[in-house]
Amino acid sequence: MRSMVDADDDDVETVKAVSQCFHSTGVSFVTLYCGYQHFIDIEHAIHGRRPLNADAALTSYCHLLPTDCLIDVTGQYDWSACRGQRHCVHLLRHFNDLDHDRHCADHQRLSYLQVSRHY
């Protein structure tokens, strides 16, 4: 098991996260970045959708909320271009296999580890 320490204590491993909304046009992507002497290790990719009865103000909010319909899609991607790198840009796919209405807002949250090269 890997240990976690605070970023101020010559960090061994720090959890970082990015979120992205899916839009009806264009390509969705995330940019992952780790500091000097660190590399990326993917933790989780979670695809979420708001329920139809969600507050309209929340439909464009690109972060996961407790009421969202969620599915872990970590294994649905090839992360080899990001793992072990200091920086990468990764395209996101729209997953339609959720058992929820397709008119909900779609978003994805990716959590990754910033791991020290000395670890």
Does 76 reside within a domain?
Answer: yes
4 inside domain: no
40 versus 35: which is more confidently predicted?
40
CATH assignment at residue 69: 2.60.120.740
Q: Which tens digit of pLDDT belongs to each residue from 47-90?
A: 887 776 777 666 667 777 787 888 888 888 899 999 999 999 99
Residue 8 resides in a domain: no
**Nearest residue to 106 via CA among 57, 55, 64, 67:** 64
Q: How many helices (H) and strands (E) does the chain have?
A: 0, 6
pLDDT digits (tens, 9 = 90+) for 43-52: 998 888 777 6
Judge whether 54 lies within some domain: yes
Q: Give pLDDT tens digits for 80-117.
A: 999 999 999 998 877 655 555 454 447 888 899 989 87
pLDDT for the residue numbered 38 = 92
Residue span of the structural domain in which 86 resides = 13-116
User: Is 2 within the bounds of a domain?
Assistant: no
**Domain annotation covers residue 51:** yes
Among candidate residues 96, 64, 90, the one with its CA nearest the CA of residue 77: 90
Please list, residue by residue across 40-73, b when 16 or more beta carbons sit within 10 angstroms of its beta carbon and e when fewer do: bbbeebbbbbbeeebeeeeeebeebeeebeeeeb
Residue 6 lies in a domain: no
Q: Would you say residue 5 lies in a domain?
A: no
